Amino acid sequence: IYTNIDGMFSVSKQAIVADEHAQIITGGRDGILEVYSINSDSWQAEFILQDNPITDIIYINDTLWVAAGKGVAVFVWAGDQYRFVDYFINFPALIGHVNKLELYDSRIWMATDKGVLTAPADLSRFTINDPAQWRLIDKSSGLSVNEVDALERHNGKLYIGTSKGLFYTTKDFQVKAEDNWAKDESGEYRPIQNFYSTGSELYVASYSVIYEFTSDTTRVKFSGPAPVNELYVDHDQNFWLATSGKGIYQWPDKNIILKDGPYSNVDLSVLKAADGKIYACSGRPKLYSANGLFIKEDKWLNYIFIGVGWEKINNAVYFYQDRFENVWFGSWGGGLGVFRSNGEMEFFHNYTDPGRLYIRTPQSGEAISMDDYTVHQGYFTGIVGTPTYEVISAIKEDKRGKLWVANPWATDDRLLKVIPYKDNGFVDLDINHWEFFGSSDGIGGSKGDISALAFDDWGHVWIGTFSNGLYELDYNQTLSDHSDDVVTHYTISDNLYSNTIYALEVDRDGIVWIGTGAGLNSYDGIRIYKHVGDPEGLNGPLENRINNIVVDDFNNRWFATSGGLSILRAGRSPWENNAWIGFNTENSGLVDNQVFGLFVDNRTSQALIGTMQGISLYT
């Protein structure tokens, strides 16, 4: 397994091919073409196509044809590396993207969203930057739809795969339908994602099923574990499938090859517990994710909850470990859960379905009844119209050891629950001992859309919202008496970059750091300051969207941004030269610049960094 730690610039790969010089050429969503030399065990990167997603690569006679963005690029072997020749985008139709490439009858063929485009492949004789050199095959030529997903040469024909049938063309450019192609239960032709020709047989991938096709018969060869993105058949008639979510599947041995890791690369909240377990989830506020919880023990486990209401837990958005080593997780619609320090898992929600838990690894899975797990009901409230849709957006202990849980949009207006602990190291389950705050106390505005919590040394509570700015609650050390509470509301008119607050934290100097959707603010007790983003990461955060903030024991301030990871060093002013350091995919092993999850282990000084492409480790 190679990653950017091994010298790659990108791990978002969508295309790969081998040449005759002991090299592997790869490309992905970011448009970076990378070449791995087997002999020197090194990587080289070509950036000329950057930001044009690479979807396919063909190698023939020391020439690379690369489908990228809205066109096709050509590179030729120059003896020691590939040299860029041209990028062709002038076609008789305005295309949105290229799906596949094929060489047939001395021509380059492109499967696009507007049909099949073809031009002569001999660039020494033809200038294919001229749109007149290209021919378009689309619905007017006989295809069922314009979007073409697959191309393959076989037995003198060029096969064309679409979402509504199988077609072929020959050297005369005439299009004919293969009426013998497979149909579904409703009589519609099955969609085609990919082909592979061995020379004698043509295999077709439709969803997770592999068919063997001839003009006379179509028969099912076998079914894979998940939809097929790529298909390859080796000389021993082993089938290798690159699948969606199930790794590489090999048939007939039915082996699944998938590196141990979270079941999803999107890791938006990460936590390393005191016992060394790693927790991660890919849920996002206001969006639905069905990926569940990812937990690293000896290997990664994926917890998927099944049942009415239970499935909402799969959209977990937040992890927090309290001082008693209970690991709490909040979900968008599924209520609150906890892995207790005694090993028990318990839940706080109001749905009545008994539910099931499916714990899976890439190789196996086990379904478990929820009957043996404790469910506490009547503590949290759903949204208007759906009383069991309980949103938990933030969880944190205050300086006095009480657990604050944000339950935004709660119909009973108890938007903040303040929960004491008992001597057994778990929360007090007598709700009469809880305290509550809501919009009637001046918090959260009319929507009550709480997004983040922080506590300062004065006992004030800082409350961020998704659309109503920032609130400062001073309850005057009397939680149960709201008559002396003072609530201060801050918005863009008070110098906030945005009223959308994603993260809050208070550092060792008492500075409140405020991460918004449009920039980083800080508050020193007198005024709110703005900190301008810096693309180099040397004079400010790498990007203006601040997704997470962590302050470590040394008072280093860590910022998860949409452009990478930024650190404001301890003892440094944010306006001081060399106070900042930034890490992104270009200058470090960070797997992706979209950073959301962030956890700093104060015992080891390591950090877990959750991104849209997986978890990176800072050491």
What is the model's pLDDT at position 485?
96
Which of residues 489 and 592 earns the better pLDDT score?
A: 489
Q: Is residue 349 part of a domain?
A: no
Residue 42 has pLDDT above 50, yes or no: yes
pLDDT digits (tens, 9 = 90+) for 440-462: 999 976 667 999 999 999 999 99
The range of the structural domain enclosing residue 36 comes to: 1-89
Looking at the whole model, is its pTM more than 0.85? no
Q: By the 8 A CB rule, do 598 and 617 touch?
A: no
Q: Alpha-carbon distance 59 to 76, whole Å?
A: 10
| Rounded mean pLDDT, 88-101 | 95
Residue 207 has pLDDT above 80, yes or no: yes
- Average pLDDT of the chain is 92
Report the number of distinct structural domains present in the chain. Answer: 1
What is the model's pLDDT at position 298?
84
Residue 501 has pLDDT above 60, yes or no: yes
What is the model's pLDDT at position 288?
66
Q: Is residue 244 part of a domain?
A: no
Q: How far lies 127's CA from each of 16, 88, 112, in Å?
A: 27, 10, 21
Encoded tokens for 491: 């918005």
What is the model's pLDDT at position 361?
80
pLDDT bracket for residue 1 (50, 70, 90): very low
Portion of the chain with pLDDT greater than 90, in percent: 76
| Rounded mean pLDDT, 360-375 | 85
Q: Alpha-carbon distance 363 to 188, whole Å?
A: 34
Q: By the 8 A CB rule, do 558 and 565 touch?
A: yes
Encoded tokens for 225: 């574990």
What is the model's pLDDT at position 10?
56
Encoded tokens for 231: 């298909």
* Nearest CA among 392, 389, 391, 345 for reference residue 371: 345
Q: Is residue 242 part of a domain?
A: no
What is the model's pLDDT at position 337?
98
| Rounded mean pLDDT, 209-224 | 93
What is the model's pLDDT at position 140?
96
pLDDT bracket for residue 28 (50, 70, 90): confident
Q: Alpha-carbon distance 447 to 439, whole Å?
A: 8
Which amino acid, residue 100?
K
What secondary structure does DSSP assign to 410-436, as a single string? Answer: -TTS--EEEEPBPTTSSB---GGG-EE
Encoded tokens for 553: 């024991």
What is the model's pLDDT at position 336?
98
| Rounded mean pLDDT, 588-606 | 91
Residue 3 has pLDDT above 70, yes or no: no
Q: Is residue 315 part of a domain?
A: no
Q: Is residue 95 part of a domain?
A: no
Residue 258 has pLDDT above 60, yes or no: no
| Rounded mean pLDDT, 115-128 | 95
What is the model's pLDDT at position 259?
58
| Rounded mean pLDDT, 169-195 | 94
| Rounded mean pLDDT, 80-104 | 95
What is the model's pLDDT at position 268?
81
| Rounded mean pLDDT, 420-430 | 97
CATH number at residue 85: 2.110.10.10
What is the model's pLDDT at position 5?
47
What secondary structure does DSSP assign to 304-355, as a single string? Answer: EEESTTGGGGGGEEEEEE-TT--EEEEEEEB-EEEE-TTS-EEEE-------
Report for 8-17, 113-122, 260-269: range of highest mean pLDDT: 113-122
Q: Is residue 131 part of a domain?
A: no
Non-local (6+) Cβ contacts of 541 within 8 A are 520, 531, 533, 534, 559, 561, 563, 566, 580, 582
| Rounded mean pLDDT, 44-48 | 88
pLDDT bracket for residue 7 (50, 70, 90): low
Residue 256 has pLDDT above 90, yes or no: no
pLDDT digits (tens, 9 = 90+) for 306-349: 999 999 999 999 999 999 999 999 999 999 999 999 999 999 99
Is the Cα torsion angle 388, 411, 344, 338 positive or negative in sign? positive
Portion of the chain with pLDDT greater than 70, in percent: 94
pLDDT bracket for residue 29 (50, 70, 90): confident
Report for 3-7, 40-44, 73-77: range of highest mean pLDDT: 73-77
Least confident interval from 9-13, 122-126, 133-137, 207-211: 9-13
Non-local (6+) Cβ contacts of 263 within 8 A are 245, 291, 292, 294, 300, 302, 360, 362
Phi, psi of 165 (to 5 degrees): 130, 170
What is the model's pLDDT at position 249?
83
What is the model's pLDDT at position 276?
94
Is the Cα torsion angle 521, 284, 299, 208 positive or negative in sign? negative
Strands (E) in 458-500, as ranges, are 461-465, 470-474, 486-490
| Helix count and strand count (H, E) for the chain | 0, 55
